[in-house]
């Protein structure tokens, strides 16, 4: 059944490749660190049917992922591995558990082991400059996955979602689902992403473009005053950090008032805020509008239960598919799919990019966006 759903989304060629390469769905991780989010089951697993052996093409791809503490990266890693293996590549997939130095070492080892291409989803976008230079000197092409690699000319292509578009979609959702009236102001607090991730800055820019006019006219009020990215970012997108900050904000600024909106940049941050709100005695009667990003399984269950309002669905199968075309381009001379040659300036070069489309998801459209596409099954969403 899943095959049918997949075939609706992926190209015929890619589906054929997937079916060939989906013999295993286990996440081969370098690190055994437990997942921080409650649900870490990969979405959109491929079918388990026996696959004919794929002829190895003799080339090895190193895939460096940031962490397994968030479900999306587990899905990204396993989708990349499956799709590359289906084309005959050997894959070295490593997770660094948000430890920048560990990621540097993993990439150094990949270079030393003779990989032909590197795909990197960085922890700190600027911290890999030296190792990227090593790759370039060794003639190994580098592709940036989801997060732009900053301050380097060693990156060939960038596969991502429209990162400013994510912020725009979150901001639009807030504006469209709130009665905005300066005579009856609504309170809002911001929980943004990691300052060392370029995506977090772009999301913030897209979000503020939408909500700033309403902060200016008094329809929205941020009682903590923490509107600047400098004051509302969350290092490493960490759930516990967000929870603690939300607790402090609720105690410090909302003792006599209610918080109406939490503009959260990531589902993990939304879980932290949810815990803080429960601790402060919020109930279904006064629960705020809470945004998120990634439409993780847990977040989608929370959306159905009403404890998170929306998220941004990012189909990691499609992102992996686009990234694989880039790997083929640098290794086989094929033509990669590119749809942006202007936006992603990394301070050294403008990196040719493919931007996938982020989709806002809430209780009204989650079936269409997440179930009908095979990203989650009804069973996964119904499970305790």
Strand-strand pairing, 310-313 and 359-362: antiparallel
| Alpha-carbon separation of residue 222 from 238, 253, 261, 263 (angstroms) | 22, 9, 10, 11
Element (H, E) at 319: helix 316-332
Question: Does residue 362 bind ligand BGC (CB under 6 A)?
Answer: no
Question: Does residue 238 bind ligand BGC (CB under 6 A)?
Answer: no
The torsion defined by the Cα of 240, 243, 249 and 251, in degrees rounded to 10, comes to: -110
186 or 314: whose CB is closer to ligand BGC? 314
String of contacts with ligand BGC for each residue 304-333, x by CB under 6 A: ----------x-------------------
Q: Report the residue from 197, 238, 260, 362 that binds ligand BGC according to the rule CB under 6 A.
A: 197
Name which of 55, 53, 54, 73 is nearest 63 in CA terms. 73
Least distance from ligand BGC to the Cβ atom of residue 132, Å: 18
Question: Does residue 266 bind ligand BGC (CB under 6 A)?
Answer: yes
Crossing angle, helix 100-112 and helix 129-137, to 10 degrees?
A: 10
Q: Which 80-139 residues touch ligand BGC, going by CB under 6 A?
A: none
Residues 6+ apart with CB under 8 A from 225: 231
Q: Report the residue from 15, 45, 71, 72 that binds ligand BGC according to the rule CB under 6 A.
A: 72
Crossing angle, helix 239-253 and helix 267-279, to 10 degrees?
A: 40
Least distance from ligand BGC to the Cβ atom of residue 163, Å: 6
Question: Does residue 146 bind ligand BGC (CB under 6 A)?
Answer: yes
36 or 338: whose CB is closer to ligand BGC? 36
d(CA 63, CA 50) in angstroms, rounded, equals 25
291 or 307: whose CB is closer to ligand BGC? 291
- Give all strands of the β-sheet with 155-161 in edge-to-edge order: 90-95, 60-65, 117-120, 142-145, 155-161, 353-356
Q: Report the residue from 147, 201, 274, 301 that binds ligand BGC according to the rule CB under 6 A.
A: 147
Stretch that binds ligand BGC, among 131-139, 191-199, 332-340, 341-349 (CB under 6 A): 191-199
Q: Report the residue from 17, 70, 152, 210 that binds ligand BGC according to the rule CB under 6 A.
A: 70
Residues 6+ apart with CB under 8 A from 278: none
131 or 203: whose CB is closer to ligand BGC? 203
Query: Which residues lie near ligand BGC (CB under 6 A)?
Result: 70, 72, 146-147, 193, 197, 199, 237, 266, 293-294, 314
């Amino acid at each position: 059944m899943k095959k049918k759903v997949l075939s609706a989304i992926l190209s015929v060629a890619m589906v054929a490749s997937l079916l060939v390469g989906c013999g295993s769905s286990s996440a081969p991780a370098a690190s055994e660190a437990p997942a921080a989010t409650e649900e870490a089951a990969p979405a959109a697993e491929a079918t388990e049917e026996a696959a004919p052996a794929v002829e190895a093409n003799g080339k090895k791809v190193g895939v460096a992922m940031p962490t397994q503490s968030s479900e999306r990266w587990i899905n990204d890693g396993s989708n990349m591995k499956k799709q590359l293996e289906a084309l005959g590549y050997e894959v070295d997939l490593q997770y660094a558990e948000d430890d920048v130095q560990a990621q540097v070492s993993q990439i150094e080892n990949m270079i030393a082991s003779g990989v032909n291409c590197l795909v990197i989803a960085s922890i700190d976008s600027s911290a890999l400059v030296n190792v990227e230079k090593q790759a370039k000197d060794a003639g190994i092409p580098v592709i940036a996955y989801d997060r732009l690699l900053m301050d380097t000319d060693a990156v060939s292509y960038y596969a991502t979602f429209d990162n400013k578009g994510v912020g725009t979609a979150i901001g639009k959702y807030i504006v469209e689902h709130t009665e905005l009236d300066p005579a009856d102001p609504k309170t809002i607090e911001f929980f943004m992403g990691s300052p060392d991730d370029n995506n977090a800055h772009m999301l913030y820019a897209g979000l503020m473009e939408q909500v700033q006019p309403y902060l200016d006219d008094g329809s929205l009020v941020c009682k903590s005053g923490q509107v600047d990215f400098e004051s509302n970012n969350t290092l490493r997108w960490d759930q516990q950090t967000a929870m603690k900050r939300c607790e402090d904000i609720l105690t410090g600024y909302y003792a006599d008032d209610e918080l109406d909106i939490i503009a959260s940049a990531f589902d993990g941050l939304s879980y932290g805020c949810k815990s803080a709100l429960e601790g402060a005695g919020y109930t279904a009667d006064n629960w705020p509008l809470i945004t998120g990003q990634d439409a993780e399984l847990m977040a989608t269950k929370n959306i159905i239960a009403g404890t998170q309002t929306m998220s941004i669905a990012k189909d990691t199968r499609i992102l992996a598919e686009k990234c694989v075309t880039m790997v083929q381009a640098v290794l086989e001379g094929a033509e990669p799919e590119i749809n942006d040659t202007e936006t992603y300036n990394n301070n050294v070069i403008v990196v040719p990019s493919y931007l996938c489309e982020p989709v806002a998801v809430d209780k009204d459209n989650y079936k269409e966006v997440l179930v009908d596409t095979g990203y989650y099954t009804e069973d996964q969403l119904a499970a305790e």
